[in-house]
Amino acid sequence: MNRSLINLGQVRHEPVFDAAEPSVDADGLKAALRHLGGGVSIVTAGEGEARTGATVTSATALSVEPPRMLVSLNRTSSTWSVVERFGHFCVNVVGPLHEGLANQFAGRGGLKGPDRYRGSSWTTLASGAPVLEDAASAIDCEVEEVLERHSHAIVIGRVVGLRILGGGSLVYGNGRYVSLDG
């Protein structure tokens, strides 16, 4: 199937896959999404030995009035079960110096749960979720609503605290990190 795409007055013909066709699968979608760069955040939740977290590019603002965040978490992940149990999470927006920590929270190196917090300093704000002390910014949330769809939980958080240090940001796309100076 071909569809015309208009690009600055020129017409191009490119193949477009219909989502109902069997050629669109998880691997194909992942390949397409590799080209969508996203800001890197570490979503944290829990307390003490019951804390964990994950590196995500799926954290974004749902609204600023009222202040709400949205994060998508795999329902089979340890992070989702801890967010569900504690009713809180923190979106730690990380910068260029946090690439190693982002890998750690992405599960590279095999660390799990509280071991992912090694080598960094942490504190808390209003919700009690772990906050990375030198994050570019931290957005502390209490769970307001959860929408479970397919393999993921779409978690809407009411922002209850902010910490802003500034600096650059870390972006992930095409299988690699890119630093943006602040």
Dump pLDDT digits (tens) for 27-79: 888 888 888 889 999 999 999 999 999 999 999 999 999 999 999 999 999 99
Tell me, what's the pLDDT at 121? Answer: 98
Q: Where are the beta strands (DSSP E) in the chain?
A: 2-7, 10-15, 38-39, 41-45, 52-56, 60-64, 67-74, 88-93, 122-124, 130-132, 137-149, 152-164, 169-173, 176-180
Task: Sheet with 169-173: list strands edge to edge.
Answer: 38-39, 169-173, 176-180
Residue 50, in any domain of the structure = yes
Measured distance CA(178)–CA(129) in Å, rounded: 27
Tell me, what's the pLDDT at 29? Answer: 87
- Please tell me whether residue 103 adopts helix, strand or coil conformation: helix
- Name beta bridge partners: 178: 171
Tell me, what's the pLDDT at 20? Answer: 55
Instruction: State which H helix or E strand residue 100 sits in.
Output: helix 99-105
Residue 118, in any domain of the structure = yes
Q: Where are the beta strands (DSSP E) in 85-126?
A: 88-93, 122-124
Of the candidates 135, 30, 178, the one whose C-alpha atom is nearest the C-alpha of residue 161 is 135
Residue 4, in any domain of the structure = no
Residue 114, domain extent: 38-180
Tell me, what's the pLDDT at 133? Answer: 98
Number of Cβ within 10 Å of residue 62's Cβ equals: 16
- Structure tokens that stand for 10 in this block: 């020129």
Residue 9, in any domain of the structure = no
- Percent of the chain whose predicted confidence (pLDDT) is above 70: 87
Tell me, what's the pLDDT at 181? Answer: 83
DSSP for 125-175 reads -SS--EEETT-SEEEEEEEEEEEEETTEEEEEEEEEEEEE----EEEEETT
Is residue 121 within 8 Å of residue 133, measured between CB atoms? yes
How confident is the model over 157-179, as pLDDT tens digits?
Answer: 999 999 999 999 999 999 899 99
Residue 33, in any domain of the structure = no
Contacts of 16 (CB under 8 A, 6+ apart): 1, 2, 3
- Structure tokens that stand for 33 in this block: 């999404």
Measured distance CA(55)–CA(59) in Å, rounded: 10
Read off the CATH number of the domain in which 86 is found: 2.30.110.10
Domain count, the chain: 1
